[in-house]
Structures are given as C-alpha cells and as structure tokens.
Amino acid sequence: MSSKETHKPRREFIKQSIAAMALTTAGIPSSWATRPVKVEKVQPVQPGFPEQPIKFSVIGMNHGHIYGQIGAMQRAGGILVAYYAVEPELMEQFNKRYPEAKPARSADEIYEDTSIQLILSAAIPSDRADIGIQAMKHGKDFMSDKPGIISLEKLEEVKKVQKETGRIFSILYSERMENKASVKASELVRAGAIGKVVQTVNLAPHRMNIPSRPEWFFDTKYYGGIITDIGSHQVDQFLYYTGSTRAIVVGAQAGNVHYPQYPEFEDFGDAILRGNGGMGYIRVDWFTPDGLDTWGDGRLTILGTEGFIELRKYTDLAGRPGGNHLFLVDGKETRYIDCSDQYLPFGELFSNDILHRTETAMSQDHCFLATEVTLQAQAQAQRIKMEL
C-alpha cells in the first residue's frame, strides 16, 4: 500500500471530525445533519352532504373564482338554479359551462325567486356588496368572491343590513377554505401540533397575464387596491390561524413600481399586523415570472411556540409535482405531508349553516373583521415611490 493510500482513511476521519466539531460548536448535534424527513400522505375521506340540497344562483361572474364558489356548493350537493350578468358575452360563456341552469332576464328575477336560498357573486368587486345587500333584503344568504367589500363605508352598510335581516354575508377566502394544504394546516394547528401560534407570514405573488385582464382590473376604484384585493386572503389567514378576534395595522405600504402605463394600478403591497392572538406579516404582488409552472408560488409559514408549519400551496420549487405541500417541524422530527387528497369541508359546512342558521364554516364576526382589517391596511398604506 502506498503512503498516500495509508493516510487516506486518516484524512477522511479528520474531515468528518472537523465537520462534527463545527456543528457542535454551533450548538447543533452532528446527528441532526442527516436526520431523515418523515414523508406522509393525507388519506381521502368520504364527503358529507346536508340533509337537504341548497338551491343557489349566481349574479355576476366577472372573475373566474365564481367557478370555485360553484364547485364548493356542488360538492355538497347544491343545485345551481339560475344565473345573470349584465354582460351578454359572460352569459353566453356561462351557459356553455352550465347548460342545466336557467339564464335569468334580470337580477330581480333571481332576487324575487323564493325557491333560491343562496346567491353567489364574483361580479366586479365594487358591485359585490350591493348585490349582497339586495340578496339579504330579499331573504337570501350571500357568498361573495374576495374582496366582498372595498370601502369601510360600504362595510358599515352591509353590517347594518346583515344585522337587520339575520341573513349570512360570507366571503369565500379560497386560499384558506379551498386549499387542501391550508385545511390540513388548520387541523394541525387546532390539534396543538406546533403549540401556541405566534405569527403567520404570508407571501402571495400573482402573475399579471395582461392580455387576459379586463379594464376594471387596472383601476383601484373598481377593485379597491392590492391589499384590499389579494391581501384580504392573507388577513383572513392571519386572523384565523392566530385565533385573533381583534387586530390593528402596525404598518402598511402599497404602490405601482413597474407598470406606469396603468397609473391607477397597484402591483406591490405589504403589511404588518398585530392581533390579540398573535402577529402577522403579509406581502402581495403581481410579479410572478413566466418561468414558473403556475400563477404564483403562494407560501404560508405558521410559527408556533413548539414548532412551525410551512405551506407551498401551488408549487414546490424543489421538484415535487403539483401543489398542496405541507412541512412541519417540531421538537421531535421534520415531516412532509402530501395534502393532495385532503377533504375540503367548506361547502358541506356552509350548506349546513344555511339550513340550521349556524356559523361552522366561518363566523359572521370573523368575516367582517377580516374585511375591516384589510380595508384599514389599504387605507393606512404609505404610497410606494421608487424607480426600478
């Protein structure tokens, strides 16, 4: 054996010893460096159905989120009765997708149909609150796409009518209620898997895709601003996962840093929030690059006193296919949970709430608080002025 071969094992031993020493010096046991990640997969469960199917209709389908709203109700056995939009082209598109439903001649035709229990809307955001007000005044419950309300003044009007009528005014925050990883995270948080939640961090990038956007998309008077619009999802999650029933806006900023051709548009916003159950940070933007395989790399980190959860909701840059990826780290192990088969209970819960006048899908107080904090953040946001 040559001199070089004789010393090779010794050199390897020294290298390993130095690496272990470095970890120990940093306060990290060397065994942690190779600790395996526990891989799990959520098992599917049979969906539940209310004892009676909910009959619902649609007024306004200016945003594609309406299809998710309809899907949530249909998964729970709901029956789409009729639909109406002021735009003939939207009526035509909707008819092709839902030929079993009746095209109404006016919104009043739907409001006055006593067989309809629920109205859904994804109209232009500035119109949604008024549609909800009319729905409630006609004895119907209402579910809006986000944002359901784009001004604090209109929020007060909605709250007044809701209290007078006793009807439900709901907003489907799909990034929590209709995302499988988010639903699994809710179960884990409630089970105490990471202790007491301290903070949520939400990153919500979106892709612009300018050719697909209507004119109202670029004007804040129609959608309320980027925090009002996209940020409403993140405020909802902050309140829900921290269990906060009160919250203040510590600081916020918003503005248009990259699209001068749309002076009334906002492409970036963020906010720091503090509630009586924890703290939160949100960042929203329209900067998803075309190289990503989906519309946005939405991420949520939930920090607890005994661990943390991280969600990669729509894609995993490390290469796992699809979305709905959940990572959990606690005092014992690191877990990866594939949530692709997680049951989404919102439609079932909301249907039962309509039938039994309960608040299991989302309390009315939470719906209004999420809206109020969102609108306060938008109103308080400092205007960003920068050159890229």
pLDDT digits (tens, 9 = 90+) for 199-234: 999 999 999 999 999 999 999 999 999 999 999 999
Closest by CA to 339, choosing from 182, 198, 214, 178, is: 182
Closest by CA to 271, choosing from 327, 335, 225, is: 225
- What is the per-residue pLDDT for 106? 98
In a domain, 115, yes or no: yes
Residue 339 pLDDT more than 90?
A: yes
In a domain, 372, yes or no: no
- List the single range of 12-21, 79-88, 216-225 with lowest mean pLDDT: 12-21
- List the single range of 33-42, 148-157, 280-289, 322-331 with lowest mean pLDDT: 33-42
Closest by CA to 108, choosing from 99, 119, 97, 98, is: 119
- Average pLDDT, whole number, for the chain? 93
Domain shared by 336 and 232, yes or no: yes
Print the domain residue range for 112: 55-172
Domain shared by 139 and 233, yes or no: no
Percent of the chain beyond pLDDT 90? 89
Domain shared by 185 and 325, yes or no: yes
Calpha distance 227→232 (Å, rounded): 6
Domain shared by 153 and 249, yes or no: no
Domain shared by 189 and 122, yes or no: no
In a domain, 10, yes or no: no
For 135, residues 6+ apart whose C-beta sits below 8 A from its C-beta are: 59, 111, 119, 141, 142, 167
Calpha distance 121→73 (Å, rounded): 13
Calpha distance 30→33 (Å, rounded): 6
Name the band, by pLDDT with cuts 50, 70 and 90, for residue 386: confident
Name the band, by pLDDT with cuts 50, 70 and 90, for residue 20: very low
For 96, residues 6+ apart whose C-beta sits below 8 A from its C-beta are: none
How many CB atoms sit inside 10 A of residue 261's CB?
Answer: 8
Domain shared by 337 and 200, yes or no: yes
Q: Mean per-residue pLDDT for 91-115? A: 98
pTM: 0.90
Name the band, by pLDDT with cuts 50, 70 and 90, for residue 356: very high
